[in-house]
Amino acid sequence: MCSSAHMTSRAMAGEINEGSVPAYYREVHEAICCRTDERVQTEVFQRLLQRTDLSKAAISQIAEHVDSTDGFLTKLSLYKALALIALAQQGKQPSPKLFESFIQELPKPQLGEPRELRALRMQPAQDDVLTLAQTLETLLAKDTVQVELIPEKKGLFLKHVEYQVTSQRYRISVYRRYSDFDVFHELLLQKFAYRIVPALPPKRMLKGVLTSVSEREFIEGRKRALNRFINLVARHPFFSEDELVKTFLTFSGSDVQTRLRDTCKKSGDEFMTNRVATQAKEYLPADIQAQFSTSRELIKNIHISFQKLRDRAEKMAERSKENATDLLQFGRELSALGSDASTLPSLAPSQSSWGTLRQSLKSLSVEFAVLSDKAAQQGRREEDDVVEKLNFFLDLLQSYRDLCERHEKGVLHEHQKALHKYGVMKRQMMSATVQSKEQASVEQLESRIVQQESAIQTMELRNYFSLFCLHQETQLIFTYLPITSHILGAFVNSQVQGHKEMGEVWNELQPRLGCLFGSKNGLKTPI
């Protein structure tokens, strides 16, 4: 216990020194703090206040003088609250100013036996910690980010491609190069190695002026892929609130890559910052490996099916584009046929109407150009609304597959290697003891074994945390599954709209043919 003089010097500042509190304070804290750290939930603290039998006014005053952050009290804040409770129970006005003249041991509040207070603790159930309380709607509502190509900023000769990235959440537009995305992706993998981190599209260096269609198609495809990547990241339940993501979406300075690296240096990876990381094993179900294997196989089959759906949707979009080209060419051929001003030969029947019909054909190319435009719009709708949504979900599924491989080839593999190395060292130790080698050599080997044991313990904790995250990321995949209805809705709507627009033009064209060619226009008369 600290001296009275020390107690007084701390109390004059209205503070509580952790080393100066009575044992009862520590016992109360131990009874009601979170199981995973030293903080106390404000809900638990409010329940504690209700046990004091103090007036509402006194309880309100105590609550005002106690600091809380993000729904939690620190250990010292609780100690301060316990002192104020005790003083209020003595009939004094609860205020930190009372500490300024307080020279004795802090008073003991009347709260009962500490073990009785454990019922106040509101630690979430294990399943609640492990379960993602998210819906597809809440994920999609987190943010919508648009990635647009802006080659005009660099004139005709492009040394690199630049993108305008606009976040709906932060209401800001920033400019990014592919290399900025690359650094951002690398840092995400470092910080969230046990989470789904979507892959980036290939870089492929550009040379010279972009004149070839294939080169432009590649750049457009990469832009779409970057758009999918950043939206998956911005909507991830754990990435979305991270400072690294916010920096990428909002920093408008000249060197975003340095800023991103500096942001990442401020904290370690997720294992070092997540409050349940070292207790992850306690929250995992006993059959976690069986659950993981079953889910992984199911998601693998879903992945294969969605790849087939995407391939078919791409073919339909391509056919719509080909249809647009064919309709336009069909109209041009009619126009060319109608533009032929050659005189009919004498062999032609005198009553032939070909000359009149030929002149009418030329004007039909306008309607076929409209039909071609409608078919092209249909192709773009199928590509933008259907294929792109399928690719969005496929990117997520592929990233989950990559995560599973990282878990098996990464932390799990390293853990097995460490265990093997530990076994070798133990055998060396036994051999050295039997052969009575020099004491210094044996002590050095013992020190290495202790270090290896510590490394194995850390790897075991990381392995369990990796499984913990993998379990949550598996839930994320299933949370995204209802996007199937969005995809089907987009597909049906694109077909309804496309056929409606095309039908309207065909219906307008049908009576026109009757006017051009008379009653026997070939529409109903068999050949």
pLDDT score recorded for residue 265: 85
Q: CA 358, 362, 366: angle at the middle one, nearest 5?
A: 150
Across the chain, what does the average pLDDT equal? 82
Residue 420 pLDDT level (bands cut at 50, 70, 90):
low
Residue 155 pLDDT level (bands cut at 50, 70, 90):
very low
pLDDT score recorded for residue 124: 46
pLDDT score recorded for residue 521: 47
Q: How far is CA 505 from CA 241, 325, 362, in A?
A: 50, 17, 17
pLDDT score recorded for residue 57: 86
The answer, as to whether pTM is greater than 0.85, is no
Each residue's pLDDT tens digit, 275-330: 888 888 888 888 888 999 999 999 999 999 999 999 999 999 999 999 999 999 99
Q: Which domains does the chain have, with CATH numbers?
A: 23-122 (1.10.238.10), 136-273 (3.30.1520.10), 309-340+355-517 (1.20.1270.60)
The first and second tokens of residue 265, run together, are 């240096």
Average pLDDT estimate for 425-434:
55
DSSP secondary structure of 370-421: HHHHHHHHHHHHIIIIIIHHHHHHHHHHHHHHHHHHHIIIIIHHHHHHHHHH
Residue 217 pLDDT level (bands cut at 50, 70, 90):
confident
Query: Which range (103-117, 232-246, 415-429) has the least confidence?
Result: 415-429
Residue 422 pLDDT level (bands cut at 50, 70, 90):
very low
Each residue's pLDDT tens digit, 337-380: 888 777 767 676 655 566 677 777 777 888 899 999 999 999 99
Each residue's pLDDT tens digit, 36-91: 678 888 888 888 998 888 988 889 889 888 888 777 888 889 999 999 999 899 88
Return d(Cα 243, Cα 170) in angstroms, integer.
Answer: 13
**For residues 82 and 429, which has the higher predicted lDDT (pLDDT)?**
82
Average pLDDT estimate for 373-399:
96
**For residues 355 and 499, which has the higher predicted lDDT (pLDDT)?**
499
pLDDT score recorded for residue 18: 53
Answer yes or no: is pLDDT of 509 > 80. yes
pLDDT score recorded for residue 511: 82
CB neighbour list of residue 324: distance below 8 Å, 6 or more residues apart: 372, 373, 374, 375, 376, 378, 379
Of 92-101, 131-140, 424-433, where does the model show the most confidence? 131-140
CB neighbour list of residue 167: distance below 8 Å, 6 or more residues apart: 143, 145, 173, 234, 249, 250
pLDDT score recorded for residue 319: 96
Q: How far is CA 90 from CA 21, 192, 360, 390, in A?
A: 18, 51, 106, 68
**For residues 208 and 185, which has the higher predicted lDDT (pLDDT)?**
185
Answer yes or no: is pLDDT of 159 > 50. yes
Answer yes or no: is pLDDT of 126 > 50. no
Q: What is the DSSP secondary structure assignment for residue 69, as one 8-state letter?
A: B
